[in-house]
Structure formats: structure tokens, C-alpha cells
Chains A and B, each alone.
Chain A
Amino acid sequence: NAGVTQTPKFQVLKTGQSMTLQCAQDMNHEYMSWYRQDPGMGLRLIHYSVGAGITDQGEVPNGYNVSRSTTEDFPLRLLSAAPSQTSVYFCASSPRTSGRPYEQYFGPGTRLTVT
């Protein structure tokens, strides 16, 4: 199993550009989430999904869109990039039931810089 994969690893955007951060998991997990990590602020939840076709907002959703058409994929879209969106983005997945039900498995992250 590859676990949670994210692409790209690094990205530089100009203000106003749009882009999609890709996230995929091969563990058949129902739950997937996007976090951003900023110095001194820990990880903050952007959006999450409890299953295909179902998404909801987290703590800092403004400026981001998500969709979940399959169990495996959960892309994060930046509609019009702003310097305040410079951050490291982590995708995570977790199973809904059984085993270690609440563990979140994180991807390796995407470092985004907006100039």
C-alpha cells in the first residue's frame, strides 16, 4: 500500500492563479481531510469528507474548494491564490470503523508559496 499520496511536493503560484492539490489514498478509508500547517499555529482543518459525495467545511475553509467523487481521491482547489495561502498542506485519511478507528494517516505534504 502506498498509503496517502500528495502531488505536487512543491508549488509556486502568483497571486490570482488557481491550482489543484491532489490527494489519494489506497486504504479504502471513508474519511479524508485537508489541513494547513503554519509556523506557530499547528495544523488547522480546511475541509473534510465523510464519504464519496459528502464534504463539509473545517476551521479555515475560505478560498478553498473540495469535492469527493471517489473514495480514493480528495483534491483541494485554490480558486484565486493569495499570499496568505502560503503554507504546507497535508491531506489525511482515517477509517470510520474497527481497528484503530480514529487514527489519521497523513500524506507527506505539499509546500505552497504564493508570490
Chain B
Amino acid sequence: GENVEQHPSTLSVQEGDSAVIKCTYSDSASNYFPWYKQELGKGPQLIIDIRSNVGEKKDQRIAVTLNKTAKHFSLHITETQPEDSAVYFCAAGRPGGGGNKLTFGTGTQLKVEL
């Protein structure tokens, strides 16, 4: 089955700096790569996703890049703000089959310091 590795497990940045979180996956059949943000005491919430026919996608201060050949994808957050502090999860899946099943990475605790 699919295996997703995520690094780093914790990341501390100064407000206004950029943050980068990296993930690798093992199943070449995976073609959908979402990123979820989880705030304390809440369920994960989708912030951005990318399909395998796209190399990069941007949404305001967040962007995701995908390298299918190397089987890795990354989340980039620019101009970080204190409200970006949360746990971020990457995931990989094959939508449409098996209820949109996802395999998640182990999470990155991002702390944005003032």
C-alpha cells in the first residue's frame, strides 16, 4: 500500500519568514495530494490540493509543488503569521476509488514566533 513520509516533524519560524514542509510517497498510482491544517482541538481542514497533472499550485500565501518523477511534494507558506501556527498534514490518494481514501503523513507542528 501507499506510504507517505513527512518532514520535519516540528518547524519554528519567525513571523514574516517562509516555511517549507516536504513529503514523499511510494505508490506511483497516487494522483491526488492534499494538505490539511489542524488547529488545536479541531479536526483537519483542507487548505490546498494538487493533482498529478499539475506541477505547482498557488493560493495567496500558500503554494504546493509536485515532482511526480521523484515522488515528492512540498507545501510552501510565505509571509508567515501567528495564525499559521498549527499541525500540517500531507496526504496522497487515488480519488474516486474506495471512497476517496487518503494515506496521511505523520504531521508537522509549525510554530510562528513573534
Contact = CB atoms under 8 A, between A and B. Distances in A.
A-B complex is real: yes
B101 A33 contact: yes
A102 B1 contact: no
B49 A40 contact: no
Interface in B8-58: 9, 32, 34, 36, 41-46, 49
B99 A42 contact: no
Given A90-B44, A108-B43, A109-B43, A56 B99 contact: yes
Interface size class of B (residues with CB under 8 A): 20 to 34
Interface stretch (B59-67, B69-77, B102-110): B102-110
A45 B1 CA distance: 12
Given A31-B99, A43-B104, A48-B98, A102 B43 contact: no
Contacts, number: 71
A42 B46 contact: no
Interface residues of A, number: 30
Interface in A30-56: 31-33, 35, 40-45, 48-50, 56
Interface in B83-106: 89, 93, 95-96, 98-106
Interface of A: 4, 31-33, 35, 40-45, 48-50, 56, 58-59, 90, 92, 94, 96, 100-104, 106-109
6 contacts: A40-B107, A42-B107, A48-B99, A56-B99, A94-B99, A108-B41
Interface of B: 1, 4, 6, 9, 32, 34, 36, 41-46, 49, 89, 93, 95-96, 98-107
